[in-house]
Amino acid sequence: MSLDGSVERRRSEPSSMQINGSNGNANENGGTSSMMLYSPTSPSPQSQSQSHQRLRLNPNTDHNPENYEDLKLEFNPCIFSSLERYLPPSMLTVTRQLKVQYMNDILARYLPQGERIRVQRHREYRQKIIANYQPLHRELYTMDPATFFVQSFVEAINKNTEESLRSIISEPSPGVYTFEMLHQDFCKMLLSEVDNFEKWVSESNFRIMRPNTMNKYGAVLDDFGLETMLDKLMDDFVRPISKVFFHEVGGSTLDSHHGFVVEYGKDRDVDLGFHVDDSEVTLNVCLGKQFSGGDLFFRGIRCDKHVNTESQPEESFDYSHVPGQAVLHRGRHRHGARATKSGHRINLLLWCRSSAFRELKKYQKDFSAWCGECQSDKRERQRQSIAATKRELLRREGDNTVA
Ligand SMILES: O=C(O)CCC(=O)C(=O)O
Ligand SMILES: [Fe+2]
The string of pLDDT tens digits covering residues 333-353 is 999 999 999 999 999 999 999
Q: Specify the ligand 1 atom closest to the Cα of 347.
A: 3
Residue 133 alpha carbon to ligand 2 centre in Å: 28
Query: Cβ(296) to ligand 1 under 6 A?
Result: yes
CA 360 to chain centroid? 15
CA 72 to chain centre: 32
Residue spans in the chain of domains classed CATH 2.60.120.620: 5-22+137-361
Q: pLDDT value at position 52? A: 58
pLDDT at 24: 52
**Residue 279 CB–ligand 1 contact under 6 Å:** no
- Per-residue pLDDT of 126-166, as tens digits, reads 999 999 999 999 999 999 999 999 999 999 999 999 999 99
Q: What is the DSSP letter of 212?
A: B
Q: Is 277 in the pocket of ligand 1 (CB under 6 A)?
A: yes
Q: How far is the CA of 258 from the centre of ligand 2 (A)?
A: 12
CA-nearest residue, atom 4 of ligand 1? 337
| Separation between Cα atoms, residue 91 and residue 52, nearest integer Å | 12
Which residues of the chain register pLDDT less than 50? Answer: 1-15, 25-51
Residue 112: per-residue pLDDT: 82
Can you give the pLDDT at residue 48? Answer: 38
Domain 5-22+137-361 has CATH 3.40.50.620: no
Instruction: Give dist(CA 105, CA 324) in Å, integer.
Output: 48
Q: What's the 188 CA to ligand 1 centre distance in angstroms? A: 19
Q: How far apart are CA 42 and CA 53, in angstroms?
A: 16
Centroid of chain to Cα 1: 25
Helix (H) or strand (E) segment spanning residue 384 = helix 372-402
| DSSP class per residue in 264-329 | EETTSB--EEEEEESSSEEEEEEEE-SEEE--EEEEEE--STTTTSPPPGGGEEEE---TTEEEEE
Is the beta carbon of 262 within 6 A of some atom in ligand 1?
A: yes
Q: Is the CB of 286 within 6 Å of ligand 1?
A: no
Q: Is the CB of 22 under 6 A from ligand 1?
A: no
Give me the pLDDT at residue 76, please.
85
